[in-house]
Chains A and B, each alone.
Chain A
Amino acid sequence: AQSVTQPDIHITVSEGASLELRCNYSYGATPYLFWYVQSPGQGLQLLLKYFSGDTLVQGIKGFEAEFKRSQSSFNLRKPSVHWSDAAEYFCAVVGMEYGNKLVFGAGTILRVKS
């Protein structure tokens, strides 16, 4: 069955340190890939998306993600984390193999140490 895997449930980083959140999916053809962020008590906000073209995509708040077809991955990165980045991050996938459904991973909770 199709799936989206975020292997890290929790990640803690120090403020100013770099960040990488992992996302893997089981999929055949090129998917449509997304990263969303949800701050406590808030709705979902789109950070970035990949449909086609350049495999390194830039998003809001200084985030970027790289699509690696050979590894079925779409990892989210940020060079220097700010305390306000503490939130839950969700990877999501759309594609024909999923029947055009939008499928989410279980999320990664990011904690930022000052």
Chain B
Amino acid sequence: DVKVTQSSRYLVKRTGEKVFLECVQDMDHENMFWYRQDPGLGLRLIYFSYDVKMKEKGDIPEGYSVSREKKERFSLILESASTNQTSMYLCASSLPPPGNTEAFFGQGTRLTVV
């Protein structure tokens, strides 16, 4: 059974803290993604990685960074958490085109910044 695992389901952090969200996949996928999901806005792409140590900015990268040191692990870092980063964060992985590019998602991390 394919699996994308996010390290926490719920997190509460204080403003200004550095926050790490971890994601691990066991499918040997090249692509990994971080999204945030907010009501009415859908899933907005924060960062995308297509290989180890390779990354691209998504639509809303400001205030975030990422790390991919190993193929199976993709970390999202909030350098200095702010209240407007309170959201649901979703990680996903997939193979690149051509072929089956279906993405598999983790269960999400609901982050509250107080």
- Contacts from A to B (Cβ < 8 Å): 6, 9, 32, 34, 43-44, 46, 49, 51, 90, 92, 94-96, 99-107
Q: Out of A9, A51, A94, A101, which one reaches B58, CB within 8 Å?
A: A101
Task: Identify 15 residue pairs between A and B in the complex whose beta-carbon atoms are under 8 Å apart, listed by A's number.
Answer: A32-B101, A43-B105, A44-B90, A92-B43, A95-B97, A96-B97, A100-B31, A101-B45, A102-B31, A102-B92, A102-B101, A104-B42, A104-B43, A104-B45, A107-B40
Q: Min CB distance, A114 to chain B, in Å?
A: 24
Q: Min CB distance, B93 to chain A, in Å?
A: 10
Q: Min CB distance, B35 to chain A, in Å?
A: 7
Q: Which 5 pairs across A and B sit closest by C-beta, in order of nearness?
A: A106-B42, A104-B43, A107-B42, A44-B105, A104-B42
> By the criterion CB–CB under 8 Å, are B43 and A49 in contact?
no
Name which residue of chain B comes closest to A107, CB basis: B42
Q: In the complex, A94 Cα to B98 Cα: how many Å? A: 10
Q: Min CB distance, B48 to chain A, in Å?
A: 5
Q: Out of A32, A101, A105, which one reaches B42, CB within 8 Å?
A: A105
Q: In the complex, A101 Cα to B94 Cα: how many Å? A: 10
Name which residue of chain A comes closest to B4, CB basis: A43
Q: Min CB distance, A22 to chain B, in Å?
A: 14
Name which residue of chain A comes closest to B35, CB basis: A104
